[in-house]
Structure 1
């Protein structure tokens, strides 16, 4: 059974799934139906929203060891794979997905931080129904879902962190608003959630 996460909540992904080895972080969103004058001025044109999901890998010391995003679709020697960039947000289901083989990650990996940002600079005022969810890749079962309900003038969000704690994989629903067209711009805020 999937757990609906609220901002700040932490749960174990391994507790009821002892054999959990491969997960997928799916991200979805829709174009907001109401724009408004300021949204049109600052949000970019057109009816498409290009949000980009990224996975940043950190060690115990909080140092970045890999970055998986639309310009680098594979990382950690193939243990993490981004399935590709969705430029519009159109369609049902996950718009972007990042697959992680937890069993192939080196023991030095402490946490995976998942972010989403608007490369074109469109703000979250133009987005609705945004979410991230973790699936067990083997069974296809949804383990946890976090609805990113906060609209605003921000262009990025730190969605969640998946991390090791006492031999278990856990998820922390973060939902921290940020600004930046790529995760590089968001790095000071990301460092603060490690």
Structure 2
């Protein structure tokens, strides 16, 4: 079991993994919140339980100057250089384990890319009050062991979140748990909020 991160915490991925790290996987998991306590409003907005929640994980690649180099998301599942791959869109959150995964070959991320920012957006437009048990976690791609986990279950009226940043610092990869909430069905609406974290 990996380290449980707090908002704002920074860790060295290699130290936590206990050595050389060449590949990591960012996993995102969630469930649809059980309704039934929605009352009149729940009835109006279809709170009959079993509602599909389509959260989308994206990975944004930035260079040293904070310019966007590439994006991996449900409309482009692999980065142009091939180092980052999204395993596919999950539109319901059903099932155990990670609902979406983004695989990162750290060894082949282009040298001009300094940071990878992971975001989550609710494409169907619901806010996070409809989401339960949401988390992101980083796995060691060599053996699928969990390096770090960050709980995203801050229910509220936001529809998006900047989850975390994985970045190069002194020739090693580190992770910063950002956990900043925002609005938007896709990552581009979060760009003004992402910039200060680069």
Which TM-score bucket, shorter chain as reference?
A: over 0.9
**Which residue matches 1:32?**
33
**Which residue matches 2:7?**
7
- Could you tell me which runs of 5 or more consecutive residues in structure 1 were left unpaired when the two chains were aligned: none
In 1, distance between residues paired with 2:81 and 2:20?
A: 22
State the TM-score, normalizing by the size of structure 1.
0.94
In 1, distance between residues paired with 2:144 and 2:90?
A: 21
Aligned to 1:91, what secondary structure does the other structure show? coil
Measured after TM superposition, the shift of residue 163 of structure 1 is 0.5
In 2, distance between residues paired with 1:60 and 1:40?
A: 49
**Which residue matches 1:165?**
169
Q: Select the residue among 175, 180, 186 that pairs with 2:184.
A: 180
In 2, distance between residues paired with 1:71 and 1:40?
A: 33
**Which residue matches 1:18?**
19
Q: 1:93 aligned to 2:94?
A: no
**Which residue matches 1:152?**
156
Q: 1:112/1:148 Cα in 2 relative to 1: closer, same or farther (>3 Å)?
A: same
In 2, distance between residues paired with 1:27 and 1:94?
A: 5
Aligned to 1:116, what secondary structure does the other structure show? strand
Contact 1:44 1:122 in 2 (8 A): no
Q: 1:53/1:44 Cα in 2 relative to 1: closer, same or farther (>3 Å)?
A: farther
- Worse-superposed segment, 35-44 or 167-176: 35-44
In 2, distance between residues paired with 1:64 and 1:162?
A: 15
**Which residue matches 1:74?**
78
Aligned to 1:187, what secondary structure does the other structure show? helix
Q: 1:39/1:83 Cα in 2 relative to 1: closer, same or farther (>3 Å)?
A: farther
In 2, distance between residues paired with 1:68 and 1:48?
A: 23
Measured after TM superposition, the shift of residue 106 of structure 1 is 1.6
Number of aligned residue pairs:
194
